[in-house]
């Protein structure tokens, strides 16, 4: 075992802390609230985007925009064109979003209409007890977080009624995914009333909602030596947890530039929103940081700052699957427990290039962890993430990395405990500037 990594008991503690973070973060809105509480506990203070900022050297701050959060530490001494070290991630995960229109009844049951959010592995959501979580907007303009208990389930058709189901399951996204939440003749509260009650507000005051299904089974260590960790939303709360934890454990006196953690929303549906990586959030915040720390700075100073900055975009990737080896590149075989992935793609679906590779290599070396390359099988389409979007919008050097998972976009994903630790260590080394 690499001596710079925690021993198994400490590694399990790190995974357990990740599990606590995930459990407290059933939606992107909850995730930024959970992150904010950890930042506040470490001395960071929240800023309001609607008022001017007066930043003090050596302090830490964060900003929330809907389901996205950006946090950073101000250096004690600011150069004319400060260099940002950005660790990027995203807060959202595939799920089913509650449709407007409330409930309907069918075959003696109460059901709710849902719309598929992102690209969930649909069959993994069947026959699981589900809750709903998200945010409610109220008539007075306020926003509250809501989370029900286990009230829903998407029941699968019995094999007796589909004898060929094991030859190939085909789910109609409209007809086969509506959750059952109760019996038609026992309707005491509808879904909005249940959400409102969980938030401690009157259902009649609710004028809008962004609520999503979540599996209610808790995260868990497992494996012959408890070397694995299973949980919902590892894509991408594992990276969010790594970034928050790293930022709150930096040595403020030994920083190389401005360490900044960015957690965007809506990555799973393309990032095209005011709180997504395609939006102006990161550009807005970095420009205001430079302007506040250097009141005499110009637009040219800001552009120079962006040119010298670097972003590590951390999002989950695929480990080579032992039961489907042909789905991966025949020669590049990343595995669980092999360290964080360096994600490369010739079509720039990932933003990594030779310059970014050197940045990630240095961070991993400073952290004492190994990393492994990831490329797609040429016959398989390659996914993408916030890395290319950040590089395109801000022009900074960007490298795409992430933890290796099995069952990505399942209701319950799987990672090696050692990789949880390694990603956190590399994130800290990168933000520190080692």
Cα–chain center distance at 38:
16
pLDDT over 70 at 243, yes or no: yes
Please name which of 422, 78, 425 lies closest in space to residue 256, comparing C-alpha atoms.
78
Residue with tokens 């490298």: 399
CA distances 284 to 63, 275, 300, 313, Å, are 11, 11, 15, 18
pLDDT for residue 2: 45
Q: What is the DSSP letter of 26?
A: S
Q: What is the DSSP letter of 152?
A: B
Could you give the 3-state DSSP secondary structure of residue 416?
strand
Strand partners, 373: 342
pLDDT tens for each residue of 363-412: 999 999 999 999 999 998 888 899 999 999 999 999 999 999 999 999 99
**Which burial class, exposed, middle or buried, applies to 186 when counting CB atoms under 10 A from its CB (0-12, 13-18, 19+)?**
exposed
pLDDT over 70 at 252, yes or no: yes
Could you give the 3-state DSSP secondary structure of residue 197?
helix
* pLDDT (mean) for 94-103: 92
pLDDT tens for each residue of 333-354: 999 999 999 999 999 999 999 9
pLDDT for residue 104: 92
Q: Which two tokens stand for residue 101?
A: 């229109």
pLDDT over 70 at 165, yes or no: yes
Give the pLDDT band (50/70/90) at residue 414: very high
User: Checking phi first, is residue 348 left (phi over 0); if not, alpha (psi -120 to 50) or beta?
Assistant: left
CA dihedral 355, 359, 360, 365 (to 10 degrees): 130
Give dist(CA 156, CA 160) in Å, integer. Answer: 11
Specify the higher pLDDT residue, 355 or 6: 355
pLDDT for residue 6: 55
* pLDDT (mean) for 45-67: 95
Query: CA 388, 264, 375 angle in degrees (round to 5)?
Result: 35
Give the pLDDT band (50/70/90) at residue 102: confident
pLDDT for residue 12: 87
What's the per-residue H, E or C state across 312-326? EEECCEECCCCCCHH
DSSP codes, 62-126? EEEETTEEEEEE--SS--SSPPEEEEEEE----EEEEEEEEEEEETTEEEEEEEEES---GGGGT
CA distances 82 to 298, 307, 429, Å, are 13, 10, 18
Give dist(CA 261, CA 60) in Å, integer. Answer: 11
Q: What percent of the chain has pLDDT over 90?
A: 87
pLDDT over 50 at 1, yes or no: no
pTM: 0.95
pLDDT over 60 at 5, yes or no: no
Supply the mean pLDDT for the chain: 94
Report the 10 Å Cβ neighbour count for 354. Answer: 7
Q: What are phi and psi of 281, to 5 degrees?
A: -55, -55
- 413-416 sheet: strands from edge to edge: 220-222, 228-231, 413-416
Contact 430, 257 (CB under 8 A): no
Please name which of 187, 354, 386, 362 lies closest in space to residue 275, comparing C-alpha atoms.
386
Residue with tokens 């977080």: 145
pLDDT over 70 at 48, yes or no: yes
Q: What percent of the chain has pLDDT over 70?
A: 98
pLDDT over 50 at 53, yes or no: yes
């Amino acid at each position: 075992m690499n001596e710079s990594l925690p021993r198994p008991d400490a590694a399990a503690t790190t995974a357990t802390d990740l599990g606590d973070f995930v459990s407290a973060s059933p939606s992107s809105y909850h995730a930024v609230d959970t992150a904010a509480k950890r930042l506040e506990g470490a001395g960071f203070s929240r800023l309001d985007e609607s008022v001017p900022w007066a930043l003090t050297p050596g302090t830490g701050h964060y900003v929330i925009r809907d389901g996205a959060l950006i946090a950073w530490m101000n250096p004690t001494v600011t150069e004319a064109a400060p260099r940002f070290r950005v660790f990027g991630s995203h807060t959202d995960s595939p799920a089913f979003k509650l449709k407007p229109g409330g409930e309907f009844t069918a075959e003696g049951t109460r059901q709710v209409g849902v719309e598929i959010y992102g690209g969930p592995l649909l069959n993994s959501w069947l026959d699981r007890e589900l809750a709903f979580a998200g945010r409610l907007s109220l008539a007075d303009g306020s926003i509250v977080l809501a989370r029900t208990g286990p009230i829903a389930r998407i029941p699968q058709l019995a094999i007796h009624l589909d004898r060929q189901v094991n030859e190939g399951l085909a789910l109609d996204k409209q007809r086969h995914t509506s959750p059952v939440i109760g019996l038609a003749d026992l309707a005491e509260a509808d879904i909005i009333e249940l959400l409102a009650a969980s938030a401690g507000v009157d259902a009649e005051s609710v004028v809008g909602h962004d609520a999503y299904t979540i599996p209610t089974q808790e995260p868990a260590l497992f494996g012959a030596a408890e070397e694995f960790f299973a949980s919902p939303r590892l894509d991408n709360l594992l990276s969010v947890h790594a970034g928050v934890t790293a930022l709150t454990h930096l040595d403020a006196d030994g920083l190389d530039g401005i360490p900044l953690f960015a957690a965007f929303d809506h990555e799973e549906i393309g990032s095209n929103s005011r709180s997504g990586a395609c939006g102006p959030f990161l550009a807005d915040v970095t420009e205001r940081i430079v302007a506040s720390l250097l009141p005499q700075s110009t637009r040219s100073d800001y552009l120079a700052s962006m040119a010298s900055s670097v972003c590590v975009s951390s999002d989950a990737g695929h480990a080579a699957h032992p039961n489907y080896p042909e789905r991966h590149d025949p020669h590049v075989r990343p595995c669980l427990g092999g360290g964080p992935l360096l994600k490369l793609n010739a079509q720039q679906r990932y933003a990594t290039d030779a310059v970014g590779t050197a940045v990630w290599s240095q961070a991993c070396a400073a952290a004492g962890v190994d990393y492994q390359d990831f490329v797609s099988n040429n016959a398989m389409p390659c996914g993408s993430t916030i890395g290319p979007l950040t590089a395109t919008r801000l022009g900074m050097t960007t490298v795409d990395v992430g933890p290796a998972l099995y069952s990505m976009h399942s209701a319950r994903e799987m990672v090696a405990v050692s990789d949880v630790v390694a990603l956190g260590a590399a994130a800290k080394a990168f933000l520190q500037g080692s």
